[in-house]
Structure 1
């Protein structure tokens, strides 16, 4: 991969690393599990986060709204995902499912953005403000789900003028077809780089050296 990353101006955006998504027993894990295991999601997430921190690349958590009683119930137009959250209580606040996976806990120097209500990590949050305050120009998106929050956040980042990198095997979706759409059809229309964990971590190591 020819793309290079200046650690001073690069951030890894770790989207929705909740137990409900990533852990055995999580409410959404059974739907994610087949693709997650096929691509080696957890190991690749660990590799990207570890490599980023070692290279001095900032890690920013981009969390979904943690469900609370009453959420979405009086809204005019909750989307299908939000209606599902109302039924399942996904990522419920003050529950195990609404906690970050134990391997992905904020460390000193990390940033935790305000929670997003829908699919874009930028809409109605402070993510853009935080990125600009830290001098970030390049964002690398990892986490869940490839065809919803990752794609929406990446598109929004592009519209705001950021350089966007997608990592094929550091995300997952409910179906292989959704992964194909996210990386082969839709991703190239807005992302500047679509890469793999191995290529990305090598680029980080090169920047660190």
Structure 2
């Protein structure tokens, strides 16, 4: 292991590996399919997860709130995005779509973070506390979607003092423009490293 990603101080954040995103029958799969296919998303996610497990890097599952029919009742400021997610019941609680994909199941020793209501995996969850308790200083952020939960989580992590790595072909978005914005425009303003899967694995 190189000094770039020491196993005792690095954490992998796997964001929203739900069936609704990653399985062909998922509610949001078709919207991201073109971009996901273009970057070979599925194989890259599997390769990274397998590699970090082999070298002993701590894995953190960072899941979005699982939708329920009465979500956001009496909320003062739900966003249009949140309301659309509720209407479509994406990641619905107690359904197949709201389960983690079969290839991305938690294993013994993995940490499952409390569900986030918005985009950031840090806001109103225990992610920061769990990272600190595990001695993590550097975070590698992969999963879905590049310009929403990945960006918000990674940016928040930087603000909290973590070294942040984005992996631009281990995520996807609903358009090429969103991917471009996430990695070419916004990412460089907060991420310490923006790598490909091949580049990341070479450092492990």
When normalised by structure 1's length, the TM-score is 0.95
Q: Structure 2 matches for 1:37-116, cutoff 5 A?
A: 37-116=37-116
Which segments of structure 1 move beyond 4 Å, counting only runs of 4 or more?
Answer: none
User: After superposition, what is the alpha-carbon deviation per residue over 1:84-118, rounded to whole angstroms, capped at 9, x for unaligned?
Assistant: 11110000011000000000000011100000000
Deviations 1:28-55 (A, max 9, x none): 1010111001100000000010000001
Q: Which residue of 2 aligns with 1:207?
A: none
Report the CA distance between 1:74 and its aligned residue.
2.2
Measured in 1, the distance between the counterparts of 2:57 and 2:80 equals: 35
How far, CA to CA, are the matches of 2:71 and 2:87 in structure 1?
11
> Which residue does the alignment assign to 2:127?
127
In angstroms, what is the RMSD of aligned CA positions? 1.0
What's the CA shift string for 1:8-64, capped at 9, x where partnerless?
110110000000000011001010111001100000000010000001111100000
- Show the counterpart of 1:176: 176
Q: Does 1:163 align with 2:200?
A: no
User: For this pair of structures, how many residues does the alignment match?
Assistant: 203
Question: Which consecutive residues of structure 1, in runs of 5 or more, have no partner in the other structure?
Answer: 205-209
For structure 2, the 5+ residue unaligned runs are none
